[in-house]
């Protein structure tokens, strides 16, 4: 089994809150799919990725870093025959607390994952064929893309706040890796904000804590000194953004602060980490504009315009639970 690349949680298996997602195989780029029947033994297969509940899965954390995968069509669970053998059966089954339908997740480089069955200790695997109906099976865990999966939110789950600032620069979008959330911002700043990067954390279900992971690189220019703002540990997550334009001809972003909430109840206020900057950039006399993620949503990244500095800024948001 390969260790994950996240430097804080390098080998943790992490359960996440319930979110509707697709699971895409790295070899074939096809999606994990079912025939949609609410029946024990219903088929699990690979299929060309489409917008259909047969390919939409909700993850339910069950404690101890493990989870179940519920199919949106049938509301049955992803299940195996539990045998520790190559070619072990994968099927749908009415949801129970049996290890055959309990899964651990291992994070791999590049936002990829392995899914390990609790009963057998074997990995969810395919035959690698880019074909509708291609096989899904269990296999001894190895370093191979047949066992490598990328998860992604279903259409419409990511939303964007408005952006604020000037009209310069080119468009950018910096999203936290799949299945992680934004807990702060790193900046290079002087008279205004030169560069930004989101601080990202993963939800560790068994301890109900957000653990920091490697985030995206900076966008923007090379000027300014480094500062950061981070929500306090355990469950502090960014839910809002405060922006003041710089007092320069470009009206770029001159001052930034964040609003923090409780990951499990985003509308509840949460403190910032001691040692965080009071704000990023320089104090300004212009009007401060605040944008918040919607009800039950938290930030998962930033977007806007940047060039030599940050020209416009807004938040990417998604449901926390």
Specify the CATH number for the domain of residue 73.
2.80.10.50
Residues 189, 66 share a domain: no
Residues 311, 167 share a domain: yes
* Whether 313 contacts 291, CB under 8 Å: no
Indicate the number of domains in the chain: 2
Residues 146, 58 share a domain: yes
Q: What is the pLDDT of residue 148?
A: 93
Cα atoms in the Cβ-side hemisphere of radius 13 Å centred on 43: 9
Q: What is the pLDDT of residues 77-121, one digit of tens each?
A: 999 999 999 999 999 999 998 999 999 877 676 667 899 999 999
Higher pLDDT, 321 or 314: 314
Residues 123, 142 share a domain: yes
Residues 196, 55 share a domain: no
Walk across the sheet containing 236-245 and list its strands.
Answer: 280-281, 253-262, 236-245, 289-292
Q: Which residues fall within 8 angstroms of residue 110, CB to CB, at 6 or more apart?
A: none
Instruction: Report how far residue 285's alpha carbon sits from residue 318's, in angstroms, rounded to the nearest whole number.
Output: 32
Is position 14 within any domain? no
Is position 4 within any domain? no
Residue 105 in tokens: 């997740």
Positive or negative, the CA dihedral 119, 120, 123, 125 is: negative
Tell me, what CATH number does 312's domain have? 2.100.10.30
Residues 173, 141 share a domain: no
Residues 144, 254 share a domain: no
Phi, psi of 93 (to 5 degrees): -155, 150
Cα atoms in the Cβ-side hemisphere of radius 13 Å centred on 39: 8
Q: What is the pLDDT of residue 283?
A: 79
Q: Which residues fall within 8 angstroms of residue 106, CB to CB, at 6 or more apart?
A: 1, 2, 4, 13, 113, 114, 116
Residue 32 in tokens: 């994990």
Last residue in a domain, options 112, 135, 153: 153
Is position 5 within any domain? no
Residues 170, 106 share a domain: no
Q: pLDDT band for 218, please (50, 70, 90 cuts).
A: very high
Judge whether residue 125 has pLDDT over 60: yes
Residues 216, 110 share a domain: no
Range of the domain at 309: 159-319
Phi, psi of 53 (to 5 degrees): -60, -20
* Whether 260 contacts 269, CB under 8 Å: yes
Is position 10 within any domain? no
Q: pLDDT band for 291, please (50, 70, 90 cuts).
A: very high
Residues 181, 148 share a domain: no
Q: What is the pLDDT of residue 220?
A: 94
Region of poorest pLDDT, from 55-64, 154-163, 229-238, 247-256: 154-163
Residues 95, 176 share a domain: no
Q: What is the pLDDT of residue 152?
A: 64
Residue 196 in tokens: 């930004």
* Whether 26 contacts 150, CB under 8 Å: yes
Which stretch, 86-90, 161-165, 303-307, has highest mean pLDDT? 86-90
Is position 8 within any domain? no
Is position 181 within any domain? yes
Q: Please give the average per-residue pLDDT across 144-172, as a whole number.
A: 81
Is position 197 within any domain? yes
Closest CA relative to residue 71, chosen from 127, 21, 133:
21
């Amino acid at each position: 089994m390969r260790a994950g690349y996240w430097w804080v949680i390098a080998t943790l298996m992490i359960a996440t809150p319930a979110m509707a997602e697709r699971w895409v195989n790295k070899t074939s780029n096809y999606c994990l799919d079912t025939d949609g029947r609410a029946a024990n033994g219903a088929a699990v297969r690979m299929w060309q990725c489409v917008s259909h509940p047969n390919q939409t899965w909700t993850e339910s954390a069950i404690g101890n870093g493990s989870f179940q995968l519920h199919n949106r069509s049938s509301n049955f669970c992803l299940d195996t025959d539990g045998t520790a053998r190559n070619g072990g059966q994968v099927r749908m089954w009415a949801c129970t607390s049996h290890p055959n339908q309990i899964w651990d997740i291992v994070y791999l480089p590049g936002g990829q994952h392995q899914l390990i069955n609790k009963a057998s200790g074997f990995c969810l695997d395919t035959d690698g064929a880019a074909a509708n109906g291609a096989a899904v099976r269990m296999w001894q865990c190895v370093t191979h893309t047949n066992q490598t999966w990328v998860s992604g939110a279903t259409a419409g789950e990511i939303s964007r706040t408005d952006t604020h600032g000037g009209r310069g620069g080119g468009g950018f979008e910096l999203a936290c890796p799949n299945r992680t959330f934004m807990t702060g911002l790193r900046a290079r700043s002087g008279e205004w904000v030169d560069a930004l990067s989101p601080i990202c954390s993963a939800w560790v279900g068994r301890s109900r804590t957000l653990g920091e992971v490697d985030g995206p690189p900076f966008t923007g220019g090379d000027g300014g000194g480094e500062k950061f703002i981070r929500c306090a540990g355990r469950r502090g997550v960014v839910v809002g953004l405060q922006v003041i334009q710089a007092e320069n001809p470009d009206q770029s972003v001159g001052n930034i602060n964040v609003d923090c909430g409780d990951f499990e109840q985003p509308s509840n206020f949460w403190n910032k980490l001691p040692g965080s900057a009071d704000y990023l950039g320089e104090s300004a006399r212009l009007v401060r504009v605040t944008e918040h993620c919607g009800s039950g949503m938290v930030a998962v990244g930033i977007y806007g315009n940047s060039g030599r500095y940050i020209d416009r800024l807004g938040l990417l948001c998604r449901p926390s639970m």
